[in-house]
Amino acid sequence: MDEMTGENININEQLKEASTNALRCMQCGVCSSSCPSGRHTSLNIRKLVKIAGRSSDILKSDELWMCTTCYNCQERCPRGIDIVDTILKIRSISAYHNIILPEHRAVCQMLLKYGHAVPINDDYKIKRTEMGLEELPETVHKYTDSLNEVKELLTSCGFERFTEDNTDENKTMENTA
Amino acid sequence: MSNLSLFLGCVAPNRYPGIEAATKKTFSKLGIELDDLEGASCCPAPGVFRSFDKTTWLTLASRNIALSEEMDDDLLTICNGCYSTLKEAETELKKDSGLKKEVNEKLFETGHEFRGQHDVRHVIEYLYQNIGVDGIREIVSNQLDLRVAVHYGCHLVQPLKEAGSGLVTNDITFFDELVEATGAKSIDYEDKMMCCGAGGGARAAVQDATLRITEKKLQNMIEEQVDCIVNACPFCHLQFDSGQQDINKNSGTNYEIPVLHYTQLLGLAMGFSPEELGINLNSTNTAVFIQRIKEGFVTA
């Protein structure tokens, strides 16, 4: 299935490294049976652990983003596999290869613009004053210098890569992953 | 100067200001004036941002902790998500000097430093350990005659190895005990420790699916005829409160369970009015609940 391009080898190596722990999995299914999301969504955490590190298909799997990180599976895994932490690492590889849901890209854009993932709006400014609170909370919302600091730190971490939709890279992934 | 600064996060100040007000009022009543954490940002949220890039996540988290350290304060959070981020960042940076150096190189550019000499505290954990169940019982002026569905939320207790609060034992009861210190009764219900559904970026990614988890919890609570849900996290609060409206709209159901953050429940027991605590600002209609509170759901 996978074409052995340079990009692809890179992704496979990264996935393998992120998932070494998952190789201990014996597919007992305790994870799935304790997964609240799995009971109500298509997430099958046992299958996800099985393919982690073995195929870059996992990066295209919607299920990767259905985990609520409740840690039930990780707490109960009889093999002590750090399942949620592995999921997080794989998500990070996904994000770095620009496979990002539009909803999550929007949350990243909020953080970069406002310093809050959930910023204030006019309705809630009114509700705050009705509560006897100041219109703006004592956060980056009120202090422009602080917001600029946050932006500076985000830039120094290269965070913009998650906020800009690089369609060309997306196409590359379509072809290789 | 107090020894605690209040970390607001995003959802409390920007969507549920009642939780912010209730926290300030109840702590003031306890004789603790919380310092404002001027210029704090998003924690940043563990679901999306930790998933995407650990360096970014750690850098912003350490800035928030540094702001609190600059005031010689421990940092108090009222949110499980913020607790997960800030406690984990604090723990990692305290034990990994290389990582701390790396983060501080970035922070120095903005005039801050993570020193790692203070602690991140969750409001529930703080109240339980520093004020104590008896301390709460003593300060309560109105005994609340309520059947409460306690929702711990995942990141108050998991992952167990990292929670580090010393409160996580085989039999987790600390939150129930604090609720019962107000006179209310914590009602056991099926899948009580289950997730609200919102975490891990799932609410943003697959909201309808997460609401199915939420609805299951709501059904289990209704089965036990509870008067309200009490949580320790504005994000769980949002998922239960605003989520009920979404479920009703999508499936023609009629869920109407009042949702309270613990600080709001404590506020009622201290004699503050539901309006002073912003309980009327929920998406789910709380008029009946408020009326019942006023008509003697409490006993002076």
The answer to the question of residue B298 being in a domain is no
Asked if residue B283 and residue B171 are part of one domain, the reply reads yes
Kindly state the tokens that stand for B114. Answer: 């993570």
The answer to the question of residue B231 being in a domain is yes
Asked whether the beta carbons of residue B160 and residue A108 sit closer than 8 angstroms, the reply is no
Residue-by-residue pLDDT tens, chain B, 300 positions? 459 999 999 999 999 999 999 999 999 999 999 999 999 999 999 888 998 999 999 999 999 999 999 999 999 999 999 999 999 999 999 999 999 999 999 999 999 999 999 999 999 999 999 999 999 999 999 999 999 999 999 999 876 556 556 777 778 899 999 999 999 999 999 999 999 999 988 898 889 889 999 999 999 999 999 999 999 999 999 999 999 999 999 999 999 999 999 999 999 999 999 999 999 999 999 999 999 999 876 554
**CATH code (residue B97):** 1.20.1050.140
Report pTM: 0.93
Asked if residue B67 and residue B172 are part of one domain, the reply reads no
**Which residues in chain B have their CB less than 8 angstroms from residue A72's CB?**
158, 195
β B143-144/B298-299 pair status: antiparallel
- Domain finish residue from B123, B143, B174: B123
Domain total in chain B: 2
Q: Does B34 touch chain A (CB under 8 A)?
A: no
Asked if residue B148 and residue B99 are part of one domain, the reply reads no
Residue range A108-125, pLDDT digits in tens? 999 999 999 999 999 999
**CATH code (residue B168):** 3.40.50.11810
The answer to the question of residue B297 being in a domain is no
Asked if residue B270 and residue B151 are part of one domain, the reply reads yes
- Domain finish residue from B78, B103, B123: B123
The answer to the question of residue B129 being in a domain is no
**Which residues in chain A have their CB less than 8 angstroms from residue B38's CB?**
138, 142-143, 146
Asked if residue B138 and residue B119 are part of one domain, the reply reads no
- If you count them, how many residues does chain A have? 177
Asked if residue B221 and residue B119 are part of one domain, the reply reads no
The answer to the question of residue B59 being in a domain is yes
**Which residues in chain B have their CB less than 8 angstroms from residue A133's CB?**
17, 20-21
What is the domain extent for residue B44?
4-123
**Which residues in chain A have their CB less than 8 angstroms from residue B79's CB?**
none
Asked whether the beta carbons of residue B204 and residue A88 sit closer than 8 angstroms, the reply is no
The answer to the question of residue B34 being in a domain is yes
Chain B from 71 to 100: CB within 8 A of any A CB: none
Q: How large is the ipTM?
A: 0.93
List the domains of chain A with CATH numbers: 2-96 (1.10.1060.10), 102-176 (no CATH)
Asked if residue B175 and residue B66 are part of one domain, the reply reads no
- Domain finish residue from B103, B123, B143: B123
Asked if residue B208 and residue B156 are part of one domain, the reply reads yes
Angle between helices B80-95 and B54-70 (to 10 degrees): 90
> Measured between CA atoms, how close is A5 to chain B, in angstroms?
24
Residues with Cβ within 8 Å of B94's Cβ and at least 6 positions away in sequence, in order, are B100, B116
User: Residue B292, exposed/middle/buried by CB under 10 A (0-12, 13-18, 19+)?
Assistant: middle
The answer to the question of residue B36 being in a domain is yes
Do residues B152 and B172 make contact, with C-beta atoms less than 8 angstroms apart? Answer: yes
Asked if residue B200 and residue B145 are part of one domain, the reply reads yes
Asked if residue B250 and residue B184 are part of one domain, the reply reads yes
Asked if residue B34 and residue B146 are part of one domain, the reply reads no
The answer to the question of residue B204 being in a domain is yes
Asked if residue B185 and residue B68 are part of one domain, the reply reads no
Of B10, B45, B56, the CB nearest to A154: B56
Q: Which residues does chain A have with pLDDT short of 50? A: 1-3, 168-177
